[in-house]
Structure 1
Amino acid sequence: MLKIDHLTKTYGEKKAVDDLNLHIKPGEIYGFIGHNGAGKTTTLKSVAGILQFDQGEILIDGKSIRTDPLACKREIAYIPDNPDLYDYMSGIKYLNFIADIFGISAADRQARIRQYAGLFELTEDLAQPIAAYSHGMKQ
């Protein structure tokens, strides 16, 4: 279940999201419709734990995105319209970030990273920023 209570996010003087309340039960499907700047992306990024918000609370299955972000991120998926979200990270940092979210042990993650980096011929590229990767490498 997703519960958003009194979500507020400002950018300088502009309120992108103003006191939003939304409760979505398991199995329900919602869409956000609105003009540019209405706060759709800001709300979704806040729910995904990518963007800090000013006020309010976001709970995913009863867990707070502020106080238990890893547990929340295990329960949701976020597919941005701009896939360059993590371009500043190196490949190895990104893979470790994802492994942290899913609670994969250090030993197990290193073995898997070596295995799959070798399989996809990416071993030499893991230290490079993701921004330097080709589209195919990112996939």
Structure 2
Amino acid sequence: MNFFKSSPFFLAILLIINISCTDQNDELTEAKSLQGLWVDIQTGTDTLVFDYWGDGDEVMYLNRARELRDGHLLPKSKAGSYDYELLKNEISLRWHLSSNSAFNQFSFEKNGDQLVIGNFYDDTAFGTKMTFKKID
């Protein structure tokens, strides 16, 4: 038993386990801190809601203003639910209503109650960043 306590191999295993758990906890903390309602400070009408599906998987909803198209009042383009994964300084998104099942990466930075994210939905503002403020 003393062999395992003083063994460099045993210590390395403990270090790896500790690092793995820390990364997971940081991700969970970050995802939990996103929960709630965020409003686009530019438009005041587009919102993000970070939540969980019934099975515990994370989901992000983009709610957009409505516009008249073909005589119908419909949400603007790209509204709906998205799967997301948090990466270092990026968020990886997959829109559920897209025929493309690939995740796409966008810049992502959270500072307190503000969230700056690369434009992923407004075709007129491609390449820009959107700023959201948490209100709930």
What is the TM-score of this pair, normalised by structure 1? 0.22
Larger Cα-atom Rg: 2
**Higher-helix-fraction structure:** 1
